[in-house]
Amino acid sequence: MSIFFIIVILYLGLLMGISIYKSRLVKGQEDFMVAGRSVPTYKLVGTLLCTWIGSGSLLAGAGFATQVGLAELWMAAGAWVGIVVVFFLASKVRRIAQYTVPDILELRYNKWARVLGTISIVVAYTTIVGYQFRGGGFVLNLVADIPEWQGVILTAGFIIAFTAFAGMLSIVSVDIINGAIITLAIIGALPLVFSNLGGSEFVAANIDPEFLTPLGGHDWIWVMGIFFPTFLLLLGESNMYQKFFSAKNEKAAKTAVVWWVSGTIVIETAIASLAILAFAHFNSPDVSEAVFLAAEDAERIILHTARYGTEVGLPLVGGLLLICAAVAIITSTGNSFLLAPSTNLTRDIYQRFINPTASEQKIVQFQRLMVILLGIMAYLLLTQFRTILDMAFTAYTMVGAALTPALLAAFLWKRVTTTGGVASIASGMGVTVLITIINFARGDNPLIESSYIILPSAGVSILVLIVVSLLTEKEGPEKWGKFYSNS
């Protein structure tokens, strides 16, 4: 049994122990869904950072960086710009103090906006959870030679059980630990690998100069294709809003955003840089067959670097810390993205339409059941995509095109109407699903590459929002007043 496998088991045991302990503190839906609305700034920063830095960054983003260089950061930059926009919305969101994004959609539009928003979130977020499962499969295969499909199932079981025990209470508690591990491991590994490989001389000799340019040899259409999925996802990100609802007050929510954007920029830049450097070494014909990493396995480069870190000057403790960071990234993102749609189904469907008088205990029990069912759905969705990058772009587009235009309009445009908002959600979701289905049917010859789906999907959604709103009767402050109140 390798030391890496032992460390992974011990770390997972620590996280699960915290979750089981916190489950004793869950008294009702506020505790389970939004941690009793009592989360201080430092915990909010940790959980926001851990939620966003997931397998999309660690695996898909890192693998993408090995193909296009630092231009990959345009995908990450979409989130950075989105976070800055969120800075100006955070206090408003906390003041409204709902439980979910569909809560906001119904408050501003109507029940159909809630239902469509819930469907979009469930599909997108279970897709995101699915590639966290795949990331866990990669880790267990690497550290214990467990077949990847078995590792996926084991990861799924852990994430589902962890989330079902204590919900948001457990997530915000362990994400302080996870955030510290992620930051220390990634930022610590980069300078060690850079210096031990030979520094600037290694870069000059082994890395394509275009990899270090802003566009990486691509055009601005390509940039928009990878920028807008993360930008629009971030602005409509249900996890983020749910965690703002968890904040103890408006000031805590807004302060957390400042630290969140700073941490995200530093960590995602470090991940991309580390991936480029390490892949230049491990993909070289000069390395031994035992540690060689083929181009088709590039999404595993950060995990590969952790496991074989001594090859690039990373000491054993650095490799172990990097493996723990990978576990932290995968589990924290999986937990958060599993909790959010289970909250949506519980709050926005069950409690809103099926059993409005359900007791607090029954609501928590129902949500735990939804966690299990959505975990199974995430596993099934995982089997339908070729790569983690394809899964990420599809999920990002679903939220970014379906939810974000109508959600932002609720806060920023008084002229938006109920009909315009609902039509925007339906059209954004419809175009995304239609193109994805056609792409599945066409196999290796997609109608539109996954990185470009956001352009027609969001374009149609925004156009419909504006045109339909302008063609329908203007609504009064009884519909939009709460979104602009300073009280």
* Record: fold of 3-387: Sodium/glucose cotransporter (1.20.1730)
Residue 38, pLDDT above cutoff 90: no
User: CB under 8 Å to 302, separation ≥6 — which residues?
Assistant: 58, 59, 62, 271, 274, 275, 278, 322, 326
Residue 487, pLDDT above cutoff 50: no
Report the Cα 409 to chain-centroid distance in Å. 23
Q: Which residues pair with 247 in a beta bridge?
A: 39
For residue 448, the SS3 value is coil
Residues 235, 411: Cα–Cα separation, whole Å:
12
Q: How does pLDDT run across 291-326, given as a tens digit for each residue?
A: 999 999 999 999 999 999 999 989 999 999 999 999
pLDDT category of residue 9 using cuts at 50, 70 and 90: very high
**Residue 234's pLDDT is what?**
80
Q: Across residues 394-405, what is the average pLDDT?
A: 91
Domain residue ranges of the chain, discontinuous segments joined by +: 3-387
**Residue 383's pLDDT is what?**
76
Q: 224: buried, middle or exposed (CB in 10 Å: 19+, 13-18, 0-12)?
A: middle
pLDDT category of residue 248 using cuts at 50, 70 and 90: confident
Residues 247, 252: Cα–Cα separation, whole Å:
6
Q: How does pLDDT run across 349-384, given as a tens digit for each residue?
A: 898 889 999 988 898 899 899 999 999 999 988 877
Q: Across residues 419-447, what is the average pLDDT?
A: 92
Q: How does pLDDT run across 150-208, given as a tens digit for each residue?
A: 999 999 999 998 888 767 666 777 777 888 888 899 999 999 999 999 999 999 999 99
The token pair at 297 is 């396995």
Please tell me which residue, 457 or 394, carries the higher pLDDT value: 457
User: CB under 8 Å to 400, separation ≥6 — which residues?
Assistant: 228, 229, 230, 231, 232, 233, 235, 236, 454, 457, 458
**Residue 278's pLDDT is what?**
96
Residues 344, 232: Cα–Cα separation, whole Å:
19
Of the CA atoms within 13 Å of residue 429, those in its CB half-sphere come to 20
Report the Cα 366 to chain-centroid distance in Å. 24
| Spatial contact of 65 and 272, defined as CB atoms under 8 Å apart | yes
Write down the pTM of the prediction: 0.81
Nearest 10 degrees: CA dihedral of 72, 77, 79, 83? 160
pLDDT category of residue 90 using cuts at 50, 70 and 90: low
**Residue 92's pLDDT is what?**
66
The token pair at 193 is 């690998």
Please tell me which residue, 344 or 276, carries the higher pLDDT value: 276
Q: Across residues 19-48, what is the average pLDDT?
A: 71
Q: How does pLDDT run across 443-456, given as a tens digit for each residue?
A: 888 888 888 899 99
Residues 333, 264: Cα–Cα separation, whole Å:
14
The token pair at 397 is 């587009």
Residue 28, pLDDT above cutoff 80: no
**Residue 35's pLDDT is what?**
57
Q: Across residues 50-68, what is the average pLDDT?
A: 86
